[in-house]
Every structure is written in structure tokens, then in C-alpha cells.
């Protein structure tokens, strides 16, 4: 297992904490309680490397601009 320590902007972290609270209200007493960090890990675990590359490629294009064709794993 790999342990990651990441810093999230407050608004992003707040969304995960709110989602955890809503799930705990909806499902009642779960053992263990649903935590925001578990939701974050669950979110990250669903992606394959090509999906992660595509998301970062899109983010960098938005920030920096690029004339290169976008990374699209479906075309490879």
C-alpha cells in the first residue's frame, strides 16, 4: 500500500467533508463511519493512468494553452 499526503484547497476539501456528512446521515450508524479521506481515496482509485494523464493534460491546456492535439487515450 502507498500512503499519500496531499494538500487540497479548502473549497475542494469542504466538498468531500460535506459529502461524507451527507452519506453518514443517509446510511445512519455505519461501522466505521464514512470519512472524507475515504471518499478521496475512493475517487482516486477509480482512474487508470491514461485517464489521469488526460485530466492533467486538459488542466494544463486550460492554464497554459497549447497547440498540440489533446491527449486522448481512446485514440491510442
- Is 56 inside a domain boundary? yes
Domain that holds residue 48: 11-25+34-75
- Is 1 inside a domain boundary? no
CA atoms of 72 and 74, how far apart (whole Å): 5
CA atoms of 56 and 48, how far apart (whole Å): 13
For the whole prediction, is pTM greater than 0.85?
no
- Is 5 inside a domain boundary? no
Write the pLDDT tens digit of every residue in 26-45. Answer: 998 888 899 999 998 888 88
Residue 49 confidence (pLDDT):
84
State how far the alpha carbon of 18 is from the alpha carbons of 2, 12, 24, 49, 55, in Å.
26, 10, 10, 28, 24
Domain count, the chain: 1
- Is 20 inside a domain boundary? yes
CA atoms of 19 and 43, how far apart (whole Å): 12
The pLDDT-based confidence of 73 (bands split at 50, 70, 90) is: low
CA atoms of 57 and 22, how far apart (whole Å): 32
pLDDT at residue 59 tops 80:
no
Amino acid at each position: 500500500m502507498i500512503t499519500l499526503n496531499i494538500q487540497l484547497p479548502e473549497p475542494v476539501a469542504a466538498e468531500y467533508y460535506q459529502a461524507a456528512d451527507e452519506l453518514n446521515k443517509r446510511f445512519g450508524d455505519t461501522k466505521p463511519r464514512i470519512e472524507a479521506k475515504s471518499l478521496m481515496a475512493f475517487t482516486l482509485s477509480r482512474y487508470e493512468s491514461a485517464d489521469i494523464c488526460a485530466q492533467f493534460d486538459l488542466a494544463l491546456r486550460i492554464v497554459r494553452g497549447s497547440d498540440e492535439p489533446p491527449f486522448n487515450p481512446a485514440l491510442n
